[in-house]
């Protein structure tokens, strides 16, 4: 209202500002002619007032259902006697309950009111809730009684009546009179009841109730406001009998625990427990102690890195202490009890958590696989010898052509009387061919030379010597070679081992294209699809006959081959092992589709293999 007239029938700005600042519920101003001169937002919503009703029809015309009611009497009395009055009524046309208070103001009266329908519904539901609560009390498995300040029983639920029925009628009786058998000096009943009643402290106890009940009760006495206490109790006689039976079972459990301890000590796998400070042995079984040639009691208390001075071992334990388990980790090195003897294990380290969520100890399970590793290395060496044989065959093939050229050229030179220009050209060709022989020999020796440690090498440096060794076979097999080196990134690896993998893959590709085809070799920078580690990816793809799903599922198994007597079944198995040691990946996909057939091997080599399977913080 931008402006208000003063005098009878009009609300003043002072009236509106004063009342609007006080009330946040519905507020209307009614002048002495019973017209509504102001209505706030809440009033407009509750009473369905719009702008046309302001200073329009009288209140009684707008709400005829109020005429002749107590509401009209309250309004007229407040208007005439200039007093404030309270009233609550149900307005049927709107189906709402209204709670209001009138206030005399200079222009008439102000009515402050709110919709109390929900409150009335809550009041109606209160009795229903009380009935439901009684039903809950009657259906609960706990017995419940209520004692007034004089310890008189004023309420009993159905379960309480059932449990106390041997005593007879106790409702309305004083507790200590109804249960004379519980009154004696230092009685837990008396002490707990009085503490709950007089000190308002919750008490809980178990006690035996003698004749005529002859039961054990678990009892809770809780203060109930300031009117007395509520007693919850239940029959635990059977639980007491069960506890006795449990004691007997505990003895059996201890016997079984002794058996488990025997199994722990004699298990064929090394088991141990370490602290999280210095990683000292807290306990270990006989098999773990045998790694060192000692007895378990001779190892307890010693630091793991003193017993096994293996590079990276402490970092593994620190990782587990931080809550990250190590699973099936290949560990190798020497132990203090057998210096000079290189040994291998597969280890699992797990954090043991306390009730507060912190790591309290480290559990370890170690399986020595030295014998298996030595067998694997023997197989790898055998495969290397086979690879050397294949390389030697390729070298012989490559040498034959230049030697034949040299022989023919020397014959031409010898057949002429002087060294003419053509003769000089022939001599140059002979020299080039001899240089080619020299290059092939150099590459072969470099390929076969065993590196003692990892070196930095690019994909192109890895692939070119291998490709050169197979050029003769590629030409004779009518295979078109397409090679692209899109990465100059260098990786740290044992290059002779990676070349062995590449040689296996290229040789297999050639074998798969007996009738000719295309061999595509690519290299580019990439990231490991799982770990995200940066590295180099080398792709070797052929247009051969491809592999069926059953063959693809077994190509990495040792001794599995599709080449009958011409294959050992170890090439791809060893290749995958080499990539695993380098923490790389060897993947394959193949198709036997009539139009789009062939096989693609993808080799991922990390730039620098991680020392553990965890990343640094």
Domains (range + CATH), the chain: 13-120 (3.30.450.20), 140-235 (3.30.450.20), 267-368 (3.30.450.20), 374-606 (3.30.565.10)
Q: What is the pLDDT of residues 280-307, one digit of tens each?
A: 999 999 999 988 989 999 999 999 999 9
Distance between CA 496 and CA 455 in Å, rounded?
10
pLDDT band at 317 (very low <50, low <70, confident <90, very high): very high
Q: Residue 224 above 80 pLDDT?
A: yes
Contact 65, 93 (CB under 8 A): yes
pLDDT at 7 over 50: no
Q: HSE-up of 192 (CA within 13 Å, CB side)?
A: 18
3-state secondary structure of 125: helix
Could you tell me the CA-to-CA distances from 298 to 261, 283, 307, 452 in Å, in that order? 19, 10, 11, 37
To which residue do tokens 């580690």 refer?
A: 533
DSSP 416: S
Q: Indicate if the pLDDT at residue 615 is higher than 50.
A: no
More reliable by pLDDT, 78 or 615: 78
Q: What is the pLDDT of residues 347-391, one digit of tens each?
A: 999 999 999 999 999 999 999 998 788 777 667 656 665 666 566
Per-residue confidence (pLDDT) for residue 265, from 0 to 100 = 79
Specify the DSSP element, H or E, that contains 217.
strand 215-224
**pLDDT tens, residue by residue, 509-560:** 998 998 899 999 999 999 988 888 999 999 999 999 899 998 888 888 876 7
- Rg from Cα positions in the chain: 48
Give the position of tokens 């060893």. 574
Overall residue count recorded for the chain in this entry: 617
**Are the C-beta atoms of 78 and 104 separated by less than 8 Å?**
yes
**pLDDT band at 495, cuts 50/70/90?**
confident
Note the pLDDT of residue 602. 92
Residue 281, token pair as written in the block: 């042995």
CA-CA-CA-CA dihedral for 44, 47, 48, 50, to nearest 10: -50
Tell me, what's the pLDDT at 6?
Answer: 39
Give me the mean pLDDT over the 447-471 stretch: 79
Burial environment of residue 166 by CB neighbours within 10 A (0 to 12, 13 to 18, 19 or more):
exposed
pLDDT bin (cut points 50, 70, 90) of residue 128 is low
DSSP-assigned letter for residue 35: B
The average pLDDT across 51-68 equals: 93
Percent of the chain with pLDDT over 90: 38
Query: What is the pTM (predicted TM-score) of this model?
Result: 0.35
Mean pLDDT of 475-494: 90
Residue 73, pLDDT score: 96
If you average pLDDT over each of 97-111, 124-138, 561-575, which comes out highest?
Answer: 97-111
E-assigned strand segments in 250-311: 270-274, 281-284
Could you tell me which residues come within 8 angstroms of residue 192 by beta carbon, excluding any fewer than 6 positions away? 203, 204, 205, 219, 221
pLDDT confidence of 123, banded at 50, 70, 90?
confident
Average pLDDT over residues 311-315: 92
Instruction: Give residue 566's pLDDT.
Output: 60
On the question of pLDDT at 8 being above 70, the answer is no
Which has more confidence, 85 or 573? 85
pLDDT, residue 612, reads 44
Is the pLDDT score of 171 beyond 60? yes
Using alpha carbons, list the distances in angstroms from residue 133 to 129, 136, 139, 159, 528.
Answer: 6, 5, 10, 14, 63
* Rounded-to-integer distance, Cα 484 and Cα 182, Å: 97
Which residues contact residue 483 at a Cβ distance below 8 angstroms, ignoring those fewer than 6 apart? 463, 467, 520, 521, 522
Is the pLDDT at 78 greater than 90? The verdict is: yes
Query: Quick one: pLDDT band at residue 179, thresholds 50, 70, 90?
Result: confident
């Amino acid at each position: 209202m931008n402006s208000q007239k003063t005098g009878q029938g009009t609300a003043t700005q002072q009236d509106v500002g004063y009342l609007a600042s006080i009330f946040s519920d519905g507020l209307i101003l009614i002048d002495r002619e019973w017209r509504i001169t102001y209505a706030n937002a809440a009033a407009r919503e509750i009473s369905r007032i719009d702008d046309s009703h302001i200073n329009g029809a009288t209140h009684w015309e707008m709400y005829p259902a109020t005429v002749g009611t107590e509401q009209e009497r309250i309004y007229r009395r407040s208007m005439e006697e200039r007093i404030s009055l309270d009233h609550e009524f149900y307005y049927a046309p709107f189906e709402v309950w209204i709670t209001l208070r009138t206030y005399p103001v200079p222009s008439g009266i102000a009515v402050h009111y709110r919709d109390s329908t929900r409150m009335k519904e809550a009041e109606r539901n209160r009795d229903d809730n009380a009935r439901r609560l009684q039903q809950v009390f009657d259906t609960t498995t706990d017995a419940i009684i209520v004692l007034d300040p004089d310890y008189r029983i004023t309420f009993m639920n159905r379960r309480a009546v059932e449990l106390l029925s041997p005593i007879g009628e106790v409702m309305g009786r004083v507790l200590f009179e109804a249960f004379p058998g519980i009154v004696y000096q230092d009685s837990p009943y008396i002490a707990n009841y009085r503490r709950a009643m007089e000190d308002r402290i919750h008490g809980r106890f178990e006690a035996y109730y003698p004749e005529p009940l002859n039961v054990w009760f678990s009892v809770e006495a809780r203060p109930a406001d300031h009117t007395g206490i509520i007693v919850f109790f239940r029959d635990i006689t059977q639980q007491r009998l069960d506890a006795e039976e449990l004691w007997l079972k505990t003895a059996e459990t201890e016997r079984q625990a002794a058996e488990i301890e025997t199994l722990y000590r004699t298990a064929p796998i090394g088991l141990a427990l370490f602290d999280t400070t210095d990683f000292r042995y807290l306990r270990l079984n006989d098999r773990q102690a045998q790694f060192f040639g000692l007895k378990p009691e001779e190892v307890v208390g010693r630091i793991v890195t003193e017993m096994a001075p293996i590079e990276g071992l402490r970092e593994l334990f620190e990782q587990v202490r931080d809550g990250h388990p190590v699973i099936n980790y290949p560990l190798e090195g020497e132990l203090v009890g057998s210096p000079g003897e290189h040994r291998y294990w597969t280890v699992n380290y797990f954090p043991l958590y306390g009730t507060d969520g912190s790591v309290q100890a480290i559990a370890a399970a170690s399986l020595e696989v030295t014998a298996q590793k030595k067998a694997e290395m023997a197989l790898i060496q055998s495969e290397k010898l086979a690879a050397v044989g294949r390389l030697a065959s390729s070298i012989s093939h490559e040498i034959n052509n230049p030697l034949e050229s040299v022989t023919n050229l020397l014959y031409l030179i010898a057949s002429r009387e002087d060294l003419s220009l053509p003769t000089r050209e022939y001599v140059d060709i002979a020299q080039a061919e001899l240089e080619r022989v020299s290059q092939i020999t150099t590459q072969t020796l470099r390929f076969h030379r065993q590196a003692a440690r990892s070196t930095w090498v690019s994909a192109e440096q890895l692939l070119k010597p291998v490709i050169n060794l197979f050029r003769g076979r590629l030409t004779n097999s009518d295979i078109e070679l397409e090679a692209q080196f899109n990465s100059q990134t260098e990786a740290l690896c044992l290059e002779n081992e990676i070349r062995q993998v590449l040689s296996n893959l290229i040789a297999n590709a050639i074998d798969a294209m007996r009738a000719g085809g295309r061999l595509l070799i690519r290299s580019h920078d990439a990231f490991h699809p799982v770990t995200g580690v940066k590295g180099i990816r080398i792709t070797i793809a052929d247009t051969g006959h491809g592999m069926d799903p059953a063959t693809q599922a077994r190509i990495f198994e040792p001794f599995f081959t599709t080449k009958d007597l011409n294959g050992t079944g170890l090439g791809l198995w060893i290749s995958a092992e080499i990539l695993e040691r380098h923490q790389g990946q060897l993947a394959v996909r193949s198709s036997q589709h009539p139009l789009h057939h062939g096989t693609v091997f993808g080799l991922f080599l990390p730039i620098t293999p991680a020392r553990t399977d965890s990343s640094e913080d």
